Amino acid sequence: MDKQRMIFEIDRRSVTEGDVVEINWQCQGAEEVKLTIDNGFRATEIPLELSGNKRFRLHRSKGKTHMTIAVTTNGKVHRKTIDVRVKKLPTVKAETVDGNGKRLGFFRQGWQRLLTKWHDATAKLRFAMSTLPEGKQVRVRMMALLGVLLIIGAIWPKLYGLTLVVLVVALAIGLIRK
């Protein structure tokens, strides 16, 4: 099959991330037809019928996505590539405002971000703990408590002795349970 008899078209050659493109192809008399989509991060190969059309949503790309059709006829492979320019979505800058629409100050915004990260981290930790068996949950809580006690003991030396006593008791309880 020569390239003149292989039809491979695309409706747009420039899109924004998330847009849909439609390809049309026709390769009569071919043994095998494959489409490769390479966005610069990963290449995906898709087997195709001898003719037809498909729609694809183009997301992440390193600027260009290469769409290559490979047609096998009589043991020979013919390829045709179409490059699609994929523009990044514009970045949205958002500011934190109070109930009246007044912009919050720098420190208040930082505090809000810190609280958000703290809530996200505790939610992830709660979920991770819920997936553990109950016996392991107790051990993880005990190790976290010991870690906190050791940090407090290192910062406040007067509590260091108490921290060591709690550590020895916890280890003794752990050995007795085994």
pLDDT tens by residue, 102-148: 776 777 778 888 888 999 999 998 888 888 888 788 778 878 877 88
Q: What is the pLDDT of residue 175?
A: 64
DSSP class of residue 79? E
On average, the pLDDT of the chain sits at 84
Confirm whether pTM is higher than 0.75: no
Average pLDDT over residues 57-62: 86
Q: What is the pLDDT of residue 55?
A: 94
Q: What percent of the chain has pLDDT over 70?
A: 93
What order do you get walking across the sheet with 20-26 strand by strand?
7-10, 20-26, 51-57
Q: Which of 70, 77, 44 is nearest to 58 (CA)?
A: 44
Q: What is the pLDDT of residue 94?
A: 73
Q: Which CATH superfamily is domain 7-87 in?
A: Immunoglobulins (2.60.40.10)
What is the C-alpha separation between 120 and 114, in angstroms, rounded? Answer: 10
Q: What is the pLDDT of residue 90?
A: 80
Burial of 25 from C-beta contacts in 10 A (0-12 / 13-18 / 19+): buried
Q: What is the pLDDT of residue 152?
A: 79
Q: Where are the alpha helices (DSSP H) in 28-159?
A: 106-130, 134-155
CA separation, residue 142 to residues 39, 123, 135, 138, 150 (Å):
48, 19, 11, 6, 12
DSSP class of residue 104? P
Q: What is the pLDDT of residue 102?
A: 76
**pLDDT band with cut points at 50, 70 and 90 for residue 71:** very high
Is residue 4 within 8 Å of 26, Cβ to Cβ? no
pLDDT above 60: residue 1: no
